[in-house]
A and B are shown apart, each in its own frame.
Chain A
């Protein structure tokens, strides 16, 4: 976070001036003034997949949970196993409502003395209120407002970061630890949301501009805006909260049951467990799938999905053009009977039926360093 609020309520991150200096085209996003693009979405997307992209994700929430049994207390709100999460390991999970719908998706890391949560910008205030209401008094929740967050993503991310923070190369995917850089404490995880190898770096807000400029001084590293962040995560088949998942979708419908480890599936004990365990056993009524439009026209969020007879069987939740895939890409929900890859469906857009094929996700190979 590390956030400043202007008189008109639009918030800025500590990198706002740098974004402007770099020629970023600024837009309002989740209440923040953020760069949608610098050089252009297509070029930034490709640069991230081919070299390294630097993203300002300081608008996301960083929250620390500590105190006795903080892990156990968090488990009461989410379907993942946190109690057996080892120090320095990170996991993807979701806050659930009592109907098993997803309130937010987030990353949780066990550090020495606490659990670090990284929350979506648009959801973070609600998440914090939700947790404060439900966590027992012994669990301390602290929002880390004095810290910014950078993501460095792409095949050259390791080399570029290692050049200034030696040792990061020892991290493997979903591992995290603390590092010192020029007297600054960094918390670095090997993770991200682009489908590429890369890192997320939590840094004191007062030093983030200096770190960002150091990284950008490396010719392999370019600044990347929200536009390419969206096309990268869509190609990687990753859910965008508020679009592909929301309070009505369950983890099973969303195909996120891999985030529910065995003990939790067996024991339940999370919000909406009745629905979720039933969906695990019997299969859900609808499923998130990949969709490949056959033509060149992108299919956008909100388009209805129809079967060969024209019956509505679902809806597109994310759609655009995949610069690396080289064709339009989309995701959406379809009735379970239509979720098999290879199936022919159509998106109804601007009054026309555009043929699409149900596909496996992701659209591009993920390049995580296991």
Chain B
């Protein structure tokens, strides 16, 4: 497992061998409030860095989740279909969204490590 990296839009990505796991940060789930539905990309779908890859619905509103890097979806977290609240309970663990292969690993270089992300969150408050 490599270190978790974060985007300015509050997605996280963690590389494990050739496959990466994507989810949203603890800060993001807290901002969204109670999650009631997550629309996930299907395995085989191509996602492009910065483009919409998933939609997370809270009681109040729908929010887009963007792909942190480009690649192909290999798995979706089916546990979220029955229990979308996992996103609130374990945003950086069991509440992951999907897995993907990477077209270009160098895209990871532009993302923040945890410390940089936490510094970034400070600027938002």
A residues engaging B (CB < 8 A)?
36-37, 40-42, 45, 227, 230-231, 296-298, 300, 320-321, 323, 328, 350
Q: Tell me which of A37, A45, A297, A328 contacts B39 (CB under 8 A).
A: A297
Most buried by B among A231, A300, A320: A320
Q: Are A296 and B37 in contact (CB under 8 A)?
A: yes
Q: A37-B33, A298-B37, A321-B37 are in contact. Are A350 and B59 (CB under 8 A)?
A: no
Which residues from A are CB-within-8-Å of B59? 41-42, 45, 227, 231, 320-321, 323
State the CA gap A40–B39 with chains docked (Å): 22
From residue A22, how far is it (CB to closest CB) to chain B in Å? 16
Interface flags for B61-78 (1: CB within 8 Å of A; 0: not) read 110000000000000000
State the CA gap A297–B36 with chains docked (Å): 8
State the CA gap A103–B59 with chains docked (Å): 28
Q: Are A40 and B37 in contact (CB under 8 A)?
A: no
Which residues from A are CB-within-8-Å of B61? 300
| B57 CB-CB contact with A under 8 Å | yes
From residue A198, how far is it (CB to closest CB) to chain B in Å? 21
Q: Are B33 and A300 in contact (CB under 8 A)?
A: no
Q: Are B36 and A298 in contact (CB under 8 A)?
A: yes
| B108 CB-CB contact with A under 8 Å | no
Interface flags for B26-37 (1: CB within 8 Å of A; 0: not) read 000000011011
Which residues from B are CB-within-8-Å of A40? 33-34
Which residues from A are CB-within-8-Å of B37? 296-298, 321, 328
State the CA gap A120–B34 with chains docked (Å): 27
B60 nearest in chain A by CB position: A227
Which residues from B are CB-within-8-Å of A297? 37, 39, 57
State the CA gap A37–B88 with chains docked (Å): 16
State the CA gap A321–B62 with chains docked (Å): 11
Q: Tell me which of A41, A296, A298, A350 contacts B33 (CB under 8 A).
A: A41
Q: Are A350 and B60 in contact (CB under 8 A)?
A: no
Interface flags for B47-64 (1: CB within 8 Å of A; 0: not) read 000000001011111100
State the CA gap A323–B58 with chains docked (Å): 11
